[in-house]
Amino acid sequence: MPPMKSEDTTGPVYWRSLEELQRTPEFREAVKREFPNDAWDQLPPATRRQFLKVMGASLAMAGLTACRWPKEEIVPFAHRPEGRTPGVPERFATSMEMDGVALGMVVTSYDGRPIKAEGNELHPDSLGALSAIAQADVLQLYDPDRSRRLLLREGGQQYVKQWSDFEASAVEDFGGDGTGLAVLTERSSSPTRSLVRDRFLDTYPKASWHEYEPISRDNEREGTRLVFGRPLRVHPKLDAVGVVACFDADPLFDHPSSLRLAREFAGARHPESGAGARLYVAESSFSLTGVRADHRVAIASSRVPVVLARVAHLLVAEHHIELPAAAAGYAGEAGQTLSGEETRFAEHLASDLANFQGGGAILVGHQQQPAVHALAAVLNQVLGSTVEYTADPDPDRPTHLQAINDLVAAMRAGSVQTLLILGGNPVYNAPADLRFGELLGEVPVSIHLSLYDDETSQRCTWHLPRAHGLESWGDGRAWDGTWTTRQPLIAPLYDGRSALEVLALAAGMEHTTGYELVRDNLGGRFRVLDFDTVWRRALHNGVVGGFAWETVSPRLSPGRLAVAVDGLRALLDAAPPTSERLELVLTADSRVWDGRFANNGWLQEVPDALTKVTWDNALLISPGTARDLGIDDGEMVVIEAGEASIEAPAFVLPGQARGSVSLALGYGRTAAGQVGNDVGVNAYTLRTTAAPHVISGAKLRGTGRKYALATTQDHFAIDTLGFEERNLRVGTLVREASLDAYLANPEVFHEHEHHPPLISLWKDQAYEGEQWGMAIDLNTCIGCNACVVACQAENNIPVVGREQVLNQREMQWIRIDRYFKTEPGLRSDEIDDAEVVFQPMTCVQCENAPCEQVCPVAATQHTTDGLNAMVYNRCVGTRYCSNNCPFKVRRFNFFNYHKDLADTTMMQFNPEVTVRARGVMEKCTFCTQRIEAVRIGARNDNRPIADGEIVPACAQTCPTQAITFGNLNDPESKVSKLHEEKRSYATLAELNIRPRTQYLGRLKNRADGGGDVGHGAPHGEADGRGKETA
């Protein structure tokens, strides 16, 4: 479906109630349970909230009753809103804001229930894609653990309050000129909010304002300040067909516009169109970017400046690049000895940078010191890189660490009487050495607005329920400044209010509803007669044109550069880490980010891209270091950093830098909710203002206790036999070749296929009409898990929990297979470094599907359009099909996984997909519900289905567009063309199962032309192994 069909998205119409509401007695019960404080019978006439709750949950229940049908009621509108056809999904453009950057999305709403978030093609940071985290935001909306009421905590007592109570008490709390009044808030780019903030600070001139984010790009910002004399926002570009060097940087994951960057990255990697960029990565722990690197060197984070400095040195010394006088200091011999690996990396990179001047870029990770960013900025300047700059939206803002430091100082001084905390969770995520929690207890009046009654709320006097992003009005700015609107898709389920509204209330503004605030603010910018049209268009598109910031071409400011150079020198002198004095790197988690999504089942169960660990964070340690310290995979270890120490399970990860261990933040929550409580360990307890990201001198001690990490793939460490076999198979399953080899011989991906001719016993079936197929480009897949969550959201896939995952019963229909590629001949206990390849694996819809023939009740059959259909309501659950599936992509409902689901959570269900009962097999069917929807529509107006009209959830959300779906019988369709490409191959084709999904081989573009040629050599090995067998 093309995004944003409904032209007539007017303000207050869309969230009105739905057509058919099957209301059952059980459901009334459910409502009472869910919403104790309002009795069904005394419903105020058609209040939106009641209605939404009712219809949403009820529909979901309808989805669940899969047996003989009970007496059902049909409850139509009393007044059906104009332009509204009940039962037909609608799509609305809105946005979500994280760390002060708004990400545009289009949310599908079914009869008033937002059920799925997709990317907004018009938004520069989305381009139609959405990250796993952003998609999972929908589930958070319905989270039954979200706080439902205002709480006042006084003298150990806890009172339930109403907003009116708060408004009343707020009057005195926010009295006078704001002396003793402090505000701590999340970073926000919302123009409306800055307006309201100004109004607030006007009202309370003495009030202090602090913005804190645990994870931010402040270092980069400060780096630019050092180089250019003013903070700038850095806009990397990856679409250049040149060379990109990432130093601890992961632009494909942790950058606010990672989705755009991923799209650019993929664009630069299509050999058929001559695009072949080269990616260098030097990092301490495997990142999504690192996985895709052509040259990767695993070095401790504290070595990054050293290597970068060497690159600078080489550029000047070997390649005669002129540094400006002020930066001359960089040119000097770095005085550090580099390992052979590091040197080779530096040399290759230096010469490539020199060759690709104007077509390259050096990116540095946000956890690196400003001085390192500074050096990168200088080099980018002199090399004329593709990096662009815009002015920082808020140049006077102190860094987040500074901000919270100031606040804590004030709290210590006792000068804070009233502390208003808008969002965030400082008690949990403020640097440990600040002891924020304790100090908070001493503040007379502390108010926390939050989705959950979380760690911070529990230490505040007031807790205010916050409206979810999909429940509230707002706006924000994309990374490039594009004005992004946010509109609610559902009235607040839990009586929450947005930060905007609360702030406006505190500021004593006359208009305090989000709708008015946002509309007025935008209206203020447009001096046009017909603002209404502008407004509608803005809501419809989700973005307002012409508001992106101008790029600036800054000049080096000599004054500060000196500081930068000295800063760098200091870093260079640091001793490299060893197994005894380890370096501990605290990273943002690929799933719960900084911990705010800890209570989100989808994200908790998404396997981490590299470790495949779910429901936990683990201490990543390189095999070498593990051997030095005698630590086993999965052993509980004690990490000592400074005076703090915690216990965490160790995960041995090849490709992790020696002497560097890393641990993800965001776990070990104590007040996250039923899902997120006590999952993993809390790394924030090790985090200090001095060393927020990279802690040196950490010690590691094994405890000998084992801990079972719930991974969806077996660990790297398995028995030798399996290890060797796995190495043999990787090459044939995930085919890879060097770009040079491929260009020289396009057949390289098929060279090693030899199996007897694939003849069928029977006459082949004639497949006429549409024949659906898929192509997945392994060269552009970055393993970001977006498709996994998209599929989960679209297909009502249950979350099963850690215990079940431990027992290999995870339910996601797509899994991203991760293989380590190590030098042949090495034993598993000799490995230290490794390359990683990803392969998204879901049902490939075999034409000769082994699963179909063995089902005794014909519950899985082949449809005339070539799908391997799975009929849930016919399945008796023999599991024979799963046994006989060579890809093991079928999933089984071992229990009734929906039994304990809250009614609100059920509201997320997609009514177009059956909710599977216990004892039933399920799997991917190329989103058959989407196919049917389009097919019926096309047939209704007697037209053929256009290529690209049907888009499965996974393909829709893929940031790199690695997944292509379409009609294989149409030679013009994109998918047919991709299947024609030389890189295209079918996995396990030798079984003559004829998969409908084909993979496009992966390419490596190394400077030395190296990289494996073809897909490794399993046969020679096989024969050798054959002898062994004899």
Partner 1 sequence: MSEAAIDSVSYLDNTGDDPAVRARLVVGDNDFHSVTEKVCGIVEQPRPPKMWWVAFAAASSLTLVLFACIGYLVTTGVGVWGLQVPVGWGYAIVNFVFWVGIGHAGTLISAILFLLRQRWRTSINRFAEAMTIFAVVCAGIFPGIHVGRIWFAYWLFPIPNQMSMWPNFRSPLLWDVFAVGTYATVSLLFWYMGMIPDLASIRDRAKTKLRFYIYGVLSLGWRSSNRHWHRFEFAYLLLAALATPLVLSVHSVVSFDFAVSIMPGWHTTIFPPYFVAGAIFSGFAMVVTLIIPTRKYFGLEEIITARHLENMSKIMLATGMMVGLAYSTEFFIAWYSGNTYEAFTFLNRAFGPYAWAYWTMVTCNVLVPQIFWARKLRNNTVVLWVASILINVGMWFERFVIVVSSLSRDYLPTSWGYYRPTAIDVLTFLGSFGLFFTLFLLFVRFLPMIGMAEVKGVMPQAHLDRPGHRGHGDYHGDIAGVEVV
Partner 2 sequence: MSTDRGHTSGGLYGYLAEFDKVDELLVAATKVRDAGYTRWDAHTPFVIHGLDAAMGVKKTVLPYIVFLVGLTGTAAGILLQWWTNAIDYPFLISGKPLFSLPANIPVAFETTILFAAISALVGMLALNGLPRLSHPLFTNRSFKRATDDRFFISIEASDPLFDANATRELLESVSDQPVEEIEELT
Partner 3 sequence: MNEDKSNDIFIFPRWSWVLRPAVAVGALGGALYATIVVTFGFSPRATDVGYAPVQPVPYSHAVHVGQLGMDCRYCHTGVEQTAHALIPPSQTCMNCHKSVRSNSEKLIPVFESYSTGMPVEWIRVHDLPDYVYFNHSAHVRRGVGCVSCHGRIDTMEVVSQQEPLSMGWCLDCHRNPERHLRPVEYVFQLDWVPEEDQLALGARLRETNDINPPQDCNTCHR
CB of 867 to partner 2, least distance (A): 11
Does 47 bind partner 2 (CB under 8 A)? Our answer is: no
Interactions with partner 2, residue window 816-855 (CB under 8 A): 846-850, 852-853
Q: Which is nearer to partner 2, 729 or 874 (CB)?
A: 874
Q: Tell me the two tokens of residue 519.
A: 């509309």
Task: Give dist(CA 882, CA 424) in Å, integer.
Answer: 44
The conformation of residue 7, written as its DSSP 8-state character, comes to S
Does 529 bind partner 3 (CB under 8 A)? Our answer is: no
The conformation of residue 971, written as its DSSP 8-state character, comes to T
**Residue 254: helix, strand or coil by DSSP?**
coil
Distances from the Cα of 879 to the Cαs of 12, 90, 605, in angstroms?
49, 37, 23
One residue of 108, 656, 904, 914 binding partner 3 per CB under 8 A: 914
Task: Give dist(CA 70, CA 72) in Å, integer.
Answer: 6
Does 1017 bind partner 1 (CB under 8 A)? Our answer is: no
How far is it between the farthest Cα atoms of the chain?
A: 91
Does 39 bind partner 2 (CB under 8 A)? Our answer is: no
| Cα angle 258, 262, 265; round to 5 | 135
Q: Tell me the two tokens of residue 533.
A: 């049209």
Task: Give dist(CA 375, CA 372) in Å, integer.
Answer: 5
Q: Which is nearer to partner 3, 66 or 331 (CB)?
A: 66
One residue of 8, 26, 72, 198 binding partner 3 per CB under 8 A: 72
Residue with structure tokens 């529509």? 937
CB of 890 to partner 2, least distance (A): 15
Q: Rounded to an integer, what is the distance from CA 401 to the centroid of its chain?
A: 24
Interactions with partner 1, residue window 834-873 (CB under 8 A): 841, 850, 853-858
Task: Give dist(CA 151, CA 700) in Å, integer.
Answer: 42
Segment interacting with partner 1 (CB under 8 A) among 270-278, 566-574, 681-689, 1016-1024: 1016-1024
Q: Which is nearer to partner 1, 148 or 890 (CB)?
A: 890
The conformation of residue 991, written as its DSSP 8-state character, comes to G
Does 857 bind partner 3 (CB under 8 A)? Our answer is: no
Does 888 bind partner 1 (CB under 8 A)? Our answer is: yes
Task: Give dist(CA 965, CA 961) in Å, integer.
Answer: 10
One residue of 529, 759, 766, 936 binding partner 3 per CB under 8 A: 936
Cβ neighbours of residue 862 closer than 8 Å, sequence gap 6 or more? 765, 847, 849, 852, 868, 869
Work out whether the CA dihedral 700, 706, 712, 714 comes out positive or negative: positive
One residue of 186, 594, 635, 865 binding partner 3 per CB under 8 A: 865
Site string for partner 2, 986-1025 (x = CB under 8 A): --------x-------------------------------
Buried b / exposed e over 747-769, threshold 16 CB at 10 Å, is ebbbeeeeeeeeeeeeeeeeeee
Residue 261: count of CB within 10 angstroms of its CB? 28
Does 766 bind partner 3 (CB under 8 A)? Our answer is: no
764 binds, among partner 2, partner 1, partner 3, none (CB under 5 to 8 A by kind): partner 2
Distances from the Cα of 961 to the Cαs of 270, 791, 897, 955, in angstroms?
12, 15, 32, 7
Does 485 bind partner 3 (CB under 8 A)? Our answer is: no
Cβ neighbours of residue 574 closer than 8 Å, sequence gap 6 or more? 302, 696
CB of 281 to partner 3, least distance (A): 42
Residue 167: count of CB within 10 angstroms of its CB? 12
CB of 586 to partner 3, least distance (A): 44
Q: Which is nearer to partner 2, 54 or 993 (CB)?
A: 993
One residue of 883, 932, 946, 1010 binding partner 1 per CB under 8 A: 883
Answer yes or no: are the C-beta atoms of 443 and 413 closer than 8 Å. no
- In terms of Cβ atoms closer than 10 Å to its own Cβ (0-12, 13-18, 19+), residue 468 is buried
| Cα angle 907, 913, 914; round to 5 | 90
Q: Give the closest residue to 711 by CA, choosing from 789, 633, 627.
A: 633
Interactions with partner 1, residue window 702-741 (CB under 8 A): 713-714, 719, 721-722, 725-726, 728-730, 733
Does 513 bind partner 3 (CB under 8 A)? Our answer is: no
Q: Which is nearer to partner 2, 336 or 884 (CB)?
A: 884
Does 358 bind partner 3 (CB under 8 A)? Our answer is: no
Interactions with partner 2, residue window 738-767 (CB under 8 A): 760, 762-765
Q: Which is nearer to partner 2, 59 or 849 (CB)?
A: 849
Contacts with partner 2 by CB under 8 A lie at 760, 762-765, 846-850, 852-853, 858, 861-864, 994
Residues of this chain that interact with partner 1 (CB under 8 A) are 713-714, 719, 721-722, 725-726, 728-730, 733, 804, 807-809, 815, 817-819, 841, 850, 853-858, 874-880, 882-884, 886-888, 890-896, 917-921, 988, 991, 993, 1018, 1022-1023, 1025-1026, 1028-1030
Residues binding partner 3 (CB under 8 A): 19-23, 43, 45-46, 62-66, 68-69, 71-80, 85-88, 861, 863-865, 867, 869, 871-874, 912-914, 925, 928-929, 931-932, 936, 939-940
